[in-house]
Amino acid sequence: MSALAAFARFEVARLLRSWKFLVITVGFPVLFYMLFLRDHSSGKIVYAGVTWREYLMVSMCSFGALIAALNAGGSRVALERAGGWARQLRVTPLPAWSYVAVKMTASMLVVLPVVILVELVAATFGGVSLPAGTWVGLSALLWVTSLPFSALGVLLGFAVSTEAIFPVVTGLLFVLAYFGGLFTPVSSMPGALQVAAHLLPNFHHLSLGLEVLSGRTLAASHWLVLAGYTLALGGLIVWRHHVEEARGVA
């Protein structure tokens, strides 16, 4: 277990030392929040008592969680597989499952500060004011429910080649963000897009955060969809990892 703990600390430290990764991960959601905040309807109610500036805060937290998870998992795993790092780990005392587990853990640990920083910007520059308990509950909720994003990132790292991983991650990021309602409320979209949004995990991630702000009961359907995505993606990761272990690829 000491070797596993050392490996986990090493992976997290590598992510935190990568200033380019951190700038992109934190910079994009913060930049978009500041840009979209200037919308003339920033004080308008857009969801069950939630104003646009509050909606935008939660949506950019979700967007930041997506960026962190897809890049920490997808891009880095694909590069490490191509560079032979995963193969080198097989000759260590680490158990076979440790690589996937540590990647998921490192991805989740990076998501939390991104969520908190977006909230700090919203409180400082966006005029969002919430009780202390709501801030804590919202942060914890958005962090825990970002687990399917981390699973998706790791799966992409195993399934996509190094040459294709960056365009795939970037394209998927903005497709999920747009159709999941992170840039505009789903209620304002055409009917077909509203139906499509309900199929995406980030829509349910966003919806849970908005329900916290509006004081509504957290709908079980959102939890079930996110749990379903996590289990399905986790199963695919395990299968893909076993296949590559058998081939001696990863």
Q: In 3D, which of 106, 107, 109, 132 has the Cα closest to residue 119?
A: 132
Q: Residue 211: its pLDDT value, please?
A: 92
For the chain, domain boundaries: 2-247
Residues facing residue 51 across a β-bridge: 45
- Quick one: pLDDT at residue 198? 92
- Band of the pLDDT at 201, cuts 50, 70, 90? very high
| Residue that wins the pLDDT comparison between 149 and 20 | 149
Q: Is the pLDDT of residue 87 over 90?
A: no
What pLDDT is stored for residue 145 in this prediction? 95
Can you tell me the mean pLDDT for 224-241? 90
Which spans in the chain are helix H?
Answer: 2-17, 19-37, 52-69, 76-83, 85-89, 98-125, 132-144, 147-159, 162-179, 191-197, 201-214, 220-247
Quote the percentage of the chain above a pLDDT of 70. 76
Instruction: Categorize the per-residue pLDDT at 248 as very low, low, confident or very high, splitting at 50, 70 and 90.
Output: low
Residue 93 has pLDDT above 60, yes or no: no
Confidence of residue 209 (pLDDT cuts 50, 70, 90): very high
pLDDT in tens, 99-118: 777 788 888 888 888 899 99
Question: Residue 44 pLDDT > 90, yes or no?
Answer: no
Query: Over 90: is that where the pLDDT of 70 sits?
Result: no
Which of residues 130 and 98 earns the better pLDDT score? 130
pTM over 0.75: yes
Contacts of 140 (CB under 8 A, 6+ apart): none
Categorise residue 39: left if φ over 0, alpha if ψ from -120 to 50, beta otherwise: beta
Mean pLDDT of the chain: 82
- Give the Cα separation of 145 and 140 in Å (integer): 8
Closest among 166, 169, 119, 158 to 245, alpha carbons compared: 158
Please report how many Cα atoms fall inside a 13 Å half-sphere around the Cα of residue 94, on the Cβ side: 20
